[in-house]
Chains A and B, each alone.
Chain A
Amino acid sequence: MTTTRINRCFERCRAEKRGALVVFASVGCPTLKESEELIDRLIDAGADMIELGVPFSDPMADGVTIQKSGQIALSAGTTLPEIIEIAKRIRQAHPETPLILFSYYNVLLNYGLERLGSDLKAAGVDGVLVIDLPLEEREEIMPMCEVNDISFIPLISPATSTERAKQIAENCNGFVYCITVRGVTGVRNTLPPELSAELEAAKTACQLPVAAGFGISTPEMARSVAKHADAVVVGSAVMKSLIEEGSNAAVTLVAKLAKGMR
């Protein structure tokens, strides 16, 4: 089996004895053009992997910040075809940075799964993460991922049992997204004390790299979580800087996060 960009990304970080920094951005916030520039700069600032957030009208798993960044993106008229175009250009500029499409299922379903698979592959997108497609429903999209060599990134949560986590990781090859809290996305001051134990258990159960996400907001939190996870995902904190203070602030935050993890 050929190695994937995701595999190689984790290998590089492991060689540097650090966790990977995954940054989520709502594509199209504040505008398509500015968001494309932002993602480019976030990678230069030290993001190892990018989650391309597809805005959705009803983001049930998201807290206020990502609801807002998504609404801004939708008001700017962002659509999935445009997001895929942006992915294509980012891929050309950054040949080794894994790109993960992060979406609610309805937008993908409307686009058409077959067309989605070939378009994502052509654009150089490495994985898809569908927040509302659990183990019970994912068979709808898995064949499309397999045919196009796209990693399906599954999620586990603090409510997931070890047995279920094992099942969830089966037939997946990228990494497992480990939700840190019982709750929605959003900036938080603290994380649950049992998180480190849960992450270690997830690594053992899943036999795949584990990325921890939801609520991780500061370089200190990122560094501390990275001790127990292969990657740390930061989304709301970056979108909050972007919305409240602009692109430069978001880039500065990502640079600090990256530095904190090295």
Chain B
Amino acid sequence: MNTHFGIYGGQYIAETLMPTLIELEKEYLKAKNDPAFIAEYRDLLTDYVGRESPLYYAKRLTESLGGARIYLKREDLNHTGAHKVNNTIGQALLARRMGKTRLIAETGAGMHGVGTATVAALFGLECDVFMGEVDVARQAPNVERMRTLGARVISVSSGSGTLKDAMNEAIRNWVATAENTFYVIGTVAGPHPYPTMVRDFQAVIGTESRRQILEKRGKLPAEVIACVGGGSNAIGIFSAFIDDPAVKLTGVEAGGRGLHTNEHAASINGGRVGVLHGCKTYLLQTPDGQILEAYSVSAGLDYPGVGPEHSFLADSGRVKYEVINDNEALEAFDTLSRLEGIIPALESSHAVAQAIKSAKNYSPDESIVVNLSGRGDKDMENVANYKAASKKSLEK
């Protein structure tokens, strides 16, 4: 297997984990070519996750914008409420195949943690989820969901207490436990083979979307838009359109309080190349190479790096990476909720905001596909707090 995407990716990890990664790559290759493995994965996606997910024409949103027809890929309708489960099912099947009895995971917004806890319950595996203490506080409903599913949630206080620190702690735990433990990484980052493996498990989003839009419109979309934190939902949907040069692909990074501030999570637009968590990629870092804390109102985008394949696609120009700030994402969150009766996750709201900006660039016979990667129930309290804080600062 190719371990790099151009100069990005690789296996920048302690030797103690290298034999584990080599074994994982070997087992993944075998599984990927094993019809029984693929059949079980597909069956679970159908009967357990509820795939395929609809490609929904957002008529009222489209009419309010006056441009391209906007279609939403409804990953929010998956079991557990986000795209994350497509990947956790794949990795859990692989873990079981490799004889592992325990899953560990890192989580930011909690969706990947819930996705992992869910499959651990399904397969009767032990499960520990590492979560930054800041995220434990701001994503309380997901912490309860994970506990209900039988997982232990380990609150991580080191560093900034967010996703990158949770990942550090998960890796530290894995170094010591790899013999019986499978590390379920939630995004297309980490050392090879994770970026490739997670992309493959998320590729179902793109495969379905491409077929669905062709069925509905008889032609490919003008643009496909997805939010990018680590970037698994984006890679998943882009992967089916990469070889369609006429389809514009747009990744949306979280601009937080703005690129001109230090409070954002836009690794590609505001970062430099470096090495973190096992891969070479664009990172938010100081001139000395210390990793910076990322910031976004959306916990799931709050990561100072990005999957290495995105770095490659950014350099090659195949995908354009735009930035949407907190306030724009919040506005899109309200707009979609009120016009379509769909409350999007704050992460996905970034993609919706970008679509709202782009729609008018196209004629009504063209279409934009937006990956609605998750639902927003988990964000209600967070959104209320954000609005209260904004109102206060306006009053001042």
Contact = CB atoms under 8 A, between A and B. Distances in A.
Nearest to B18: A134
B289 A161 contact: no
Interface string B163-199: 0110010011001101100000000000000000000
Contacts of B274: 106, 109-110
Given A57-B291, A106-B285, A182-B179, A156 B15 contact: yes
B341 interface: no
Interface residues of B, number: 37
Interface string A114-158: 000000000000000001111111000000000000000011111
Contact of A74 (B179, B272, B277, B290): B290
A136 B10 contact: yes
Contact of B14 (A58, A60, A63, A111): A60
A24 interface: no
B13 A132 contact: yes
A164 interface: yes
Given A106-B285, A155-B14, A56 B290 contact: yes
Given A132-B278, A182-B178, A110 B14 contact: no
Interface in B1-21: 3, 10-20
Interface string A168-191: 100000000001011110000000
Interface in B52-83: none
Interface in B272-322: 272-278, 283, 285, 287-291
A155 B15 contact: yes
B179 A136 contact: no
Nearest to B272: A110
A60 B171 CA distance: 7
Interface string A89-113: 0000000000000001111111100
B287 A159 contact: no
A159 B19 contact: yes
A182 B176 contact: yes
A135 to B, nearest CB: 7
A158 B178 CA distance: 12
A196 interface: no
Interface residues of A, number: 42
A67 interface: yes
Contacts of A106: 274-276, 283, 285, 289, 291
B158 interface: yes
A208 interface: no
A133 B17 CA distance: 12
A239 to B, nearest CB: 16
Q: Which of A63, A132, A168 has the most CB of B within 10 A?
A: A132
Contact of A132 (B12, B285, B287): B12
B94 to A, nearest CB: 19
A61 interface: yes
A58 B170 CA distance: 12
Nearest to B287: A110
Contacts of A168: 15
Nearest to B3: A136
Given A58-B164, A74-B290, A63 B172 contact: yes
B364 interface: no
Contacts of B178: 159, 182
26 contacts: A56-B289, A57-B159, A57-B290, A58-B159, A109-B273, A110-B272, A110-B287, A132-B14, A132-B278, A134-B11, A135-B18, A136-B10, A136-B18, A137-B12, A155-B15, A156-B15, A157-B15, A157-B16, A160-B18, A160-B19, A161-B19, A179-B14, A179-B16, A183-B176, A184-B172, A184-B175
- Which 3 residue pairs of A and B lie closest in terms of their CB atoms, listed nearest first? A110-B289, A183-B176, A157-B16
